[in-house]
Amino acid sequence: MRAKACTTCRQWKARCDAAPGVSGGCSRCRSLKQPCVFDASFKRTSKNKCLQQMSTEIQQLRQALLDSTKNTSPSTSSPVSATPSNSNQVPPMDDESPFSTGWQSGLSGLTASGVTPDHVDLQNSATGLQQPTPLSARASPQEILQLQPPLQSATLSDTSSNPIISAADDALSPPTWQRPSWQRPLFVAGDQQPGLTQPSPMNRRLSTASTPYRILGDVGLTRGQVDEQFRTYFAYYHQYLPFKMDSTSPEDIYSKCPLLFWVIIAVASTRKTRARLAPMIKTMVGETMYSRVRFVEAVQAILILCVWPFTTSSLNEDPSHLYSGVAAQMSHQLGLHCHTQNHTHLALSHEQLARTAEVKLTTWMAAFLMNQMQANFLGVPPSVTVDYNLLSNFSHPSIDPTLSKMCRIFHLLTQSALDISGYTPTPSTPLDPNSRLEMVITYGAEFSTLQVQHLDPMNDTLKITFLFARVQLWSFALAEDIPLSQKQIDVVKQAERDACDLIELCYSLNLSISPTYIRRAMCYCAFVLAKILRAQQATQCEVLEDNIEKVRQALMTTSDSRGDIMHKACELLQDIPYFEDKRLSPPITSRMGQSVLYDLMRIGAENTVLGLQMDTRARTQDLSFDLDGFDWNMMGM
């Protein structure tokens, strides 16, 4: 009885289209260029048996390769060269090789496609698949090894002429395969020391990725962490102090100024990492201050620390004002205030002489801004004087609009504070109360003119800065010696509105990445509202109390611990509207626009630690405290 299908189609479990009486056989046999045989006694070989036969042959070939390599390897173990070679070479069948981990699935795919045990050595050709060679007709493993060149590379080139590579290997790898760079080097048999196991490819890849790229003290960062921190800084932080830089590459910045590199890392890191980096960075700042060679990048690093200082427990510990003065003096020494000139007499390096005028100018403007800002936060005169050249640079096209507008705001605020205080910030100002109130109203009109001519439109950062400057101006009208009048009431109402608007703006921001000056502005406005509540001049007491509570809730989320200065401010805000002014010391009026804040801190200190100590000492002696004799450290903040 004649079979209905040829042996090839029966082995592949495929439909045979051979027609009786037609020469050449079925289309499948014609494409394979083999005779189409019909055998009724043919029995199909199972897939499991095919796999077993091919597995046995592969194991024999692998063992023969290892034995041959062991006999020809030198006495001293060395990694096998990974240089590509034109000779037909085979990657070793070790545990990391893709041939050892995926060969079973590849063979399954072959048998599922109809490849028989006797038809596993198929080769690609231009016309199709060539005549298969039965396994029984192949050379033995020993004969094959005699034809094979020594193993010298981990690169697999063209396998079409290599008698070792079977169809199963061809299915498991592309014609050209090269070991990935993260895999361990190949070692011949006998290289591995007894008791040591080679790492897997995944472990090697993880260990390479976790290798520290930059280390400072006990903090080590991988290359991926460094890139991510720099991306975060320039995406979310740099906009608050947008000076221009020669390069934003971590490698370039680290090579020029490691201090700037680690400051950027600290600002963009978590609180825990920032606290670990703080001691080392402070040491680097001290070394920079005493260094003979100065760089623009060092000035930029110190300016960033003014905007994002490390956690402190009191105002006296905050070095931001000191840093702003250092940055301004270093800028003068580098000639940044004359950005079009190169001061060769300072023996600057060639790299410094090649600084662009834009980098110099924007860095100098940032130094001026930080000096004005930090001076106003402490209520002291700034150390940088203003000249015509500086004022004309406010309109320079290379300066970021945010930076230019903030410089204008703080310049006007500083000018108003000095004029109202009579340029002598002492407890007794030369201006009488009525003159001070008139000056406040006059400068209020100046701020309105500035807004129309130079500030509009404003983003949220500029709005907060502008409102903070005006609230600080209005605070001069909250002094106790200002007589009650309609003008004074109008100024207090304006201060109330501006403070509430600023708190509402800040409350909608992510304060965890906002600069410190935004949090301090928010805190200052809360103290101004507390001052208005204490003076019983508020028209809506409940609204002011709600805004103070908003400030407390927002600032508590940014506090690291109970010893943090922001945490102390929140605790003081909770009780300061209701504390009694014991007047154990005279009111503080020497801090210009910040006198409101410092006087409320005095009241809080007198009602807590300082009050208990003074009450005990007052029983034995009559105490009179003036400003010079006041212990500022006892105020707790």
Over residues 17-47, the pLDDT tens digits come to 888 777 778 888 888 888 888 888 888 888 7
- Residue 496, pLDDT > 50, answer yes
- Kind plus residue range of the DSSP H or E element containing 215: strand 214-216
Q: What local confidence, expressed as pLDDT, does residue 447 receive?
A: 97
Mean pLDDT score, 476-481:
91
371 is written with which tokens? 């000096």
Using one digit for the tens of pLDDT, what is the confidence trace for 594-623? 999 999 999 998 888 655 555 544 444 443
pLDDT of residue 170: 41
Q: Given pLDDT bands bounded at 50, 70 and 90, which one contains residue 211?
A: confident
- Amino acid letter at 461? T
Give the C-alpha separation, 129 to 32, whole Å: 6
pLDDT at residue 422, rounded to an integer? 66
pLDDT tier at 137 (50, 70, 90 boundaries)? very low
What would the pLDDT profile of 106-134 be if each residue is shown by its tens digit?
A: 434 434 444 444 443 433 333 333 444 44
User: Which tens digit of pLDDT belongs to each residue from 516-541?
Assistant: 999 999 999 999 999 999 988 877 89
**Is it the case that residue 230 has pLDDT exceeding 80?**
yes
pLDDT at 67: 83
- Name beta bridge partners: 215: 220
- Residue 233 in this model has a pLDDT that exceeds 50: yes
> Among 464, 431, 444, 329, which residue's Cα sits nearest to residue 385?
329
Q: What is the pTM of this model?
A: 0.64
pLDDT for position 279: 95
Pairwise pLDDT comparison (537 vs 85), residue with the higher score: 537
Name every residue whose Cβ is closer than 8 Å to that of residue 635 and which is 6 or more positions away in sequence: 598, 601, 602, 604, 605, 610
- How many residues are there in the chain? 637
In the chain, % of residues over pLDDT 70: 69
The pLDDT value recorded for residue 442 is 96
Range 57-64 average pLDDT? 88
Which pLDDT score, from 0 to 100, does residue 295 have? Answer: 87
> What are the pLDDT digits (tens) for 260-311?
999 999 999 999 999 999 999 999 999 998 888 788 999 999 999 999 999 9
Answer positive or negative: Cα dihedral of 426, 431, 435, 440: negative
Token pair belonging to 114: 């109809």
Q: What is the mean pLDDT of residues 76-91?
A: 39
Task: Tell me how far apart the alpha carbons of residues 213 and 215 are, in angstroms, rounded to a whole number.
Answer: 7
Q: Which residue has the higher pLDDT, 441 or 137?
A: 441
CA dihedral sign, ordered 509, 510, 514, 520: positive
Q: What pLDDT, on a 0 to 100 scale, did the predictor assign at position 349?
A: 54
Residues 250, 253, 255, 259, CA torsion sign: negative
In this structure, the number of other CB atoms found within 10 A of the CB of residue 468 comes to: 28
Res. 79 pLDDT band, cuts 50 70 90? very low
CA gyration radius for the chain? Answer: 40
Q: Is the pLDDT of residue 576 over 70?
A: yes
Q: Average pLDDT of 509-517?
A: 91
In 3-state terms, what secondary structure has residue 22?
A: coil
**What does the alpha-carbon distance between residue 141 and residue 135 come to, in Å, rounded to a whole number?**
12
Average pLDDT over the chain, rounded to an integer: 76
Contact 605, 635 (CB under 8 A): yes
For residues 154-162, give the mean pLDDT: 38
What pLDDT sits at residue 504? 95
CA distance 577 to 600: 9
Candidates 97, 84, 87, 99; CA nearest to 158 is: 87
Return the pLDDT at 355. 56
Confidence of residue 180 (pLDDT cuts 50, 70, 90): very low
pLDDT at position 559: 82
Give CA–CA dist 611/604, Å, rounded: 9
The DSSP output letter for 220 is: E
What number is the average pLDDT over the span 535-558? 90
Question: Which has more confidence, 498 or 213?
Answer: 498
Query: Is residue 412 scored above 70 in pLDDT?
Result: yes
pLDDT of residue 609: 66
Torsion angle, CA of 104/105/106/107, rounded to 10 degrees? 50
Question: For the stretch 485-519, what's the b/e string if a residue is b when 16 or more beta carbons lie within 10 angstroms of its beta carbon?
Answer: eebbeebbebbbebbbbbbebbeebebeebbbbbb
d(CA 540, CA 534): 13
